[in-house]
Amino acid sequence: MDEATFAKWSRKAADWGAAYRASLRDRPVRAQTAPGDITAEIPASPPQTGESMEAIFADFEKIIVPGMTHWQHPRFFAYFPANAAPVSVVAEYLVTAMAAQCMLWQTSPAATELETRVLDWLRQAIGLPGGFAGVIQDSASSATLSAVLVMRERALAWNGNKAGLSANPRLRVYSSDQVHTSIDRAIWVSGVGEDNLVRIPVQGEHRSMDCAALEAAILRDKAAGYVPAGVIACTGGTSTGACDNIADVVRVARAHDLYVHVDAAWAGSAMICEEFRPLWAGVEEADSVVFNPHKWLGAQFDCSAHFIRSPDDLVRTLAIKPEYLKTHGKDGIINYSEWTVPLGRRFRALKLWFLLRFHGLEGLKGMIRNHVAWAETLAERLGREDGFEIVTKPIFSLFSFRHLGSGDLDAHNLALVNAINDDGRIYLTQTRVDGRVVIRFQAGQFDMTEQDADTAFEVITEIANSLGAARR
């Protein structure tokens, strides 16, 4: 592709992106295709000769776009958001065009130094003390894996990487059952093993880890000859927004010299608003914290902010320094590839820089406060409707509800959420609370308005009533 053609299709892609974002309200939120529809449209063998960009782009619009779920749709209320504010998208255009490999300071000094600065901006924004240093990971899964690896090495006197787990005592890590499954995966990949992830029961409105049970489990494991390594606490758990009492978790962990990692992947963004910080009180005493600006804050995926009290421990766990990766003649530099599992690194800091400068903290705080208020209002409205039960009250902008139809209520609520999603105007997901199927609602899409919350109420009640009439 020559320069003129590259310029033409770059403009075409940018124009298409702007038109796409403007058209989202007119599209169904979730892809309306059946399994195999897209595969059937794509040849089974690769092309032997090149094709025109006109043909490729036409097939993109005809085949690919109809099979996409529109995560930037303002009525995307499922899972958690994966926001990409337009200013962040513009920054990603530039990152893609430069295509820099940012693994070391010398491979792109501006990428490293900007990352250091904008992560410190974020640290200040969420109220963490100055003792924390930050690094951008691709996802909270990678940050949590890194934290578990540090737990492992620290508990094994830094001998796990060298001697292997088979040469060391059996480790234990503790969490509630409200944490994300990325914690399970980190336990698998780290070699600690699923049987050594000890689930602590929860209690109270926020489904917080029972710290008396945590203490008892640690003492029991010590007596049995295990080596407790760390605790993973959550703020804003995926299912219903569970929030552990971080201060109490840290108090127990410190008494036994355990590492504490806080997974606030979704809810950490809300901590730019001072009034929400009581839900993670004590976080300043944790050893590491992760949250995803690519969820609620508006940074294009992938962009996970990982804050560490002792970067030296992280580097000691992960860094490998062959001669070809050394930067000679430069002292005091940071090579962030030594802070992460992957060696290769994208220039993720640029989109954060653009986002924070364009919207400012006050603009982002206003968005988050609106989402919380609109979710609370919707929960109140649904709770007043005959036949609806609010199962878990709003935590930040997430709540769950259940429609009280006749017969098998689990089957009824699964049918309801499927009917809502097939309708296309909004998108919700389900979970289980105390064994019962419930429907989750979370407000968090960057361009959402109050009218979108009103639409959610209308769609939920309309389809629930139609299902009830059909069952009768």
Cα radius of gyration rounded to whole Å, the chain:
24
Q: Which residues pair with 429 in a beta bridge?
A: 440
C-beta separation of 101 from 108 below 8 A: yes
What residues does each domain of the chain span? 101-346
pLDDT at 328 over 50: no
pLDDT at 196 over 70: yes
Q: For strands 197-200 and 436-442, give the pairing.
A: unpaired
pLDDT tens column, 212-265? 999 999 999 999 999 999 999 999 988 888 999 999 999 999 999 999 999 999
Percent above pLDDT 90 for the chain? 66
User: What integer best gives the mean pLDDT of the chain?
Assistant: 90
Mean local confidence (pLDDT), 31-49: 89
pLDDT tens column, 399-452? 999 999 778 899 999 999 999 999 999 999 999 998 899 999 999 999 999 999
Sequence-distant (6+) residues with CB within 8 A of 87 are 354, 355, 358, 359
- What tokens were used for 336? 């962030």
C-beta separation of 189 from 149 below 8 A: no
pLDDT at 180 over 70: yes
User: Picking from 1-10, 42-51, 79-88, 154-163, which range would have the lowest pLDDT averaged per residue?
Assistant: 154-163
Nearest to 271 by CA among 260, 257, 282: 282
pLDDT tens column, 198-210? 999 998 888 999 9
Mean local confidence (pLDDT), 367-375: 97
pLDDT at 378 over 50: yes
pLDDT tens column, 268-315? 999 999 999 999 999 999 999 999 999 999 999 989 999 999 888 988
pLDDT tens column, 64-75? 999 999 999 999
Query: What's the pLDDT at 415?
Result: 92
Nearest to 229 by CA among 165, 285, 152, 286: 152
> When comparing pLDDT for 277 and 2, which is higher?
277
The architecture that CATH gives domain 101-346 is 3-Layer(aba) Sandwich (3.40)
User: Picking from 95-109, 344-358, 448-462, which range would have the lowest pLDDT averaged per residue?
Assistant: 95-109
Residue found by looking up tokens 């988050």 in the block: 368
pLDDT at 150 over 90: yes
User: Picking from 149-158, 330-339, 395-404, which range would have the lowest pLDDT averaged per residue?
Assistant: 330-339
Q: Please tell me whether the overall predicted TM-score, pTM, comes out greater than 0.85 for this model.
A: yes
Query: What's the pLDDT at 86?
Result: 93
Query: What's the pLDDT at 323?
Result: 43
What count of other Cβ atoms lies within 10 Å of the Cβ of residue 270? 28
Where is 195: in which H helix or E strand? none
- What tokens were used for 183? 């914690």
